[in-house]
Amino acid sequence: MKRILSALAVGVVAAAALSGCSAGAGGDKVIKVAYQKFGNFTQMDSQMKSVAKQYEAAHKGYTVKLIPIQASENDYYTKLSLMNKSAATAPDVLYEDTFLIKSDASAGYLAPFDSYVKDWGDWSKFPDNAKQAGQGEDGKLYGISMGTDTRALWYNKELLTKAGVPVPWHPKTWADVLDAAKKVKAAEPGVTPINVYSGKGAGEASTMQGFEMLLYGTKDTLYDESSKKWVAGSKGFEDSLEFIKEVYQGGLGPSVQDALDPNFGNTVSGQLLPQSKLAIDLDGSWLPQNWIKGGAAAWSGWNSAMGETPMPTQNGAAPDATSMSGGWTLAVGSKSKAKDAAWDFVKLALNKENSLAYDVNATQIAVRTDVASDPKYVDANPTNKFFSDLVKVTHFRPATSVYPKVSNNIQVAMESVMTGQQSPKEAAKTYDDALPNAVGGANHVTTK
C-alpha cells in the first residue's frame, strides 16, 4: 500500500508541476483547476476547457491551468487528497464529490463560499437541497452543486424478451429482479444476466449504486438521523449482502475478477450494454452521456434498445421503489492564494449557460431551477423525465465526515461475500464489529 501511495504522490506532484504554479507564461496570474477525467466520462474535461477559454477572455492577465486527473473514482479521491496536503500542489478550484465535502472541509482542504454567494444573484436559482449538499458540518458552504443524479435498473429489451420476461419490465420486489436474471441465464448463456457494483474495485459506486440501492429498499438504514447514531445489527444490512451473494455466488453477475476491476464501469457502459452482452444493470441516470452523439461510446440505437425501470423495494413495500442521489460540486481550495479569482471561475462555470451545457452533455439532473425548466434541457434526453421523477423516492448518503470510512467498510463486506470468503451473516458481523472504530466510538453506534 505504501508503494501505491508513493507512486500516486509522485504522479500528483509531477502533474501539478506540469500544470502550473503561481505565474504563467509572460507573468500571467494562474489559477489551477483539478478534476477527474477517466475512461468514457470525458464531458467534464470538455466543459472545463470551454469555461477556461471563457474565463481567460473575460479576465485579462489570468491563465487557467487545467489539471485533468486520469484516475478511477477511489484513486481520484486519493490523488486529490494528496494534492490538498501541500500549498505547492493544492488546486485553486476542484471537482468535489458531495460525499467528501464534510470530511474534506473538516480536514481543512476547502474554503467556505458564504461571503461570496450572499452577493451572487444566481444563488436563488439553487433549491435548498442543492445548497445543503455543499455544506460542511459547521454549517458553512464549501461546494456549489453542478448537478445531481438518481439510480435505477437499466435493461436490454431484446434480451429480456428472449428470456420470456415481459417488456416493458416492472419488477415489484427483489425476487422479481433475481427471477428475471435467472431466466436470462437459462436463455442466453453468453450474456451476463445482471450487474450490481460490488467490492473495493468500484469504490463508492459499490456502496451507493450497489449496497445502498438495496439497503434503502428495506426497512433499515445506515444512520439514524433522530439519534445521530450509526446502525449496527441491521437485518436489512444482512439481507442486502444476501442479494449480493445471490448475484455473484449464484452465477448471475459478472465474474468476480471483472467486477473488482476499477475500470469495470467503463466496460459496462462502453462495451457490455452497447454490445448486448449485459441484460440488467443497476446504474445511474448519467449512462446516456456515453451513448449520445459525441459520447465516448456513441450508440444511435440506445433509446430503442434499452429500457429503464425503478429499483423495487425488497418486498414491494411503499413507496414501491427506491433510488439514491449524489452529485458533484465545484469547490475552492483552502490553500489557494487566489480565492477571489477561483470564485469567479466557479461562478462562471455554474452560470445558467454553462450549467445547461454541462447538464445536457453529462446527462445530469439539473439543480438550477431555470435550467430544469429550459426546453433545451427538457428535450435533450428521452430519459430525463424518468430519472428526474425518481427524486421523490430518492435517498442521500449520511452527511457526516466519517461516512467515507463507513463506505470503505461496506465495500470490504460486499467483497468478502462476493468472493465467498464470508457468509452474509459473517460479513455483517465483521462490519458491526468495525463500526465503532470507524465512527469515533461505541457511543456513536446504536444496535437494533
pLDDT tens-digit map of 152-210:
999 999 999 999 999 999 999 999 999 999 999 999 999 999 999 999 999 999 999 99
Q: Residue 381 pLDDT more than 50?
A: yes
Pairwise CA distance, residues 92 & 343, whole Å: 9
Mean per-residue pLDDT, 420-429: 98
Proportion of the chain above pLDDT 90, given as a percent: 88
Which residues in 126-137 are b (16+ Cβ under 10 Å) and which e?
A: beeebbebbbbe
Where residue 13 falls among pLDDT bands split at 50, 70, 90? Answer: very low
List the one residue out of 416, 418, 382 whose CA is nearest residue 244.
418
Give the pLDDT score at 294: 84
Phi and psi angles of residue 156, each rounded to the nearest 5 degrees, phi first: -85, 115
Q: Residue 3 pLDDT more than 90?
A: no
Residue 171 to residues 152, 174, 264, Cα–Cα distance (Å): 12, 8, 26
Q: What is the mean pLDDT of the chain?
A: 92
| Grid cell digits, residue 340 | 477571489
Give the pLDDT score at 301: 95
Pairwise CA distance, residues 146 & 117, whole Å: 15
Give the pLDDT score at 22: 44
Residue type, 3: R
Q: Residue 291 pLDDT more than 70?
A: yes
* 151-325+400-447 topology per CATH: D-Maltodextrin-Binding Protein; domain 2 (3.40.190)
* 2-149+326-393 topology per CATH: D-Maltodextrin-Binding Protein; domain 2 (3.40.190)
Pairwise CA distance, residues 350 & 91, whole Å: 18
Where residue 39 falls among pLDDT bands split at 50, 70, 90? Answer: confident
Any idea which of 7-16, 30-39, 73-82, 356-365 has the lowest mean pLDDT? Answer: 7-16
Cis status of the peptide bond prior to 319, with omega within 30 of 0: yes
Residue type, 248: Y
Q: Residue 267 pLDDT more than 80?
A: yes
- Name which residue leads in pLDDT, 1 or 322: 322
Q: Is the alpha carbon torsion for 35, 39, 44, 48 positive or negative?
A: positive
Give the pLDDT score at 72: 84
Q: What angle do CA 392, 394, 399 make, to 5 degrees?
A: 130
Give the pLDDT score at 38: 81
Where residue 25 falls among pLDDT bands split at 50, 70, 90? Answer: very low
Note whether 19 and 65 are within 8 A (CB). yes
Q: Work out the angle between the directed axes of helices 352-361 and 43-58 (0-180°, nearest 10).
A: 160
Where residue 399 falls among pLDDT bands split at 50, 70, 90? Answer: confident
Where residue 42 falls among pLDDT bands split at 50, 70, 90? Answer: confident
Residue 143 to residues 126, 148, 232, 394, Cα–Cα distance (Å): 12, 13, 31, 21
Q: What is the pTM of this model?
A: 0.86
Pairwise CA distance, residues 395 & 322, whole Å: 8
Give the pLDDT score at 52: 98
List the one residue out of 445, 325, 333 whose CA is nearest residue 87.
333
Give the pLDDT score at 321: 97
Any idea which of 7-16, 285-294, 332-341 has the lowest mean pLDDT? Answer: 7-16
Residue with cell 469567479: 344
Q: Is the alpha carbon torsion for 203, 205, 208, 209 positive or negative?
A: negative
Mean per-residue pLDDT, 88-112: 95
Listed in order, the ranges of the chain carrying CATH 3.40.190.10 are 2-149+326-393, 151-325+400-447
Mean per-residue pLDDT, 63-76: 92
List the one residue out of 406, 386, 400 whose CA is nearest residue 149.
386
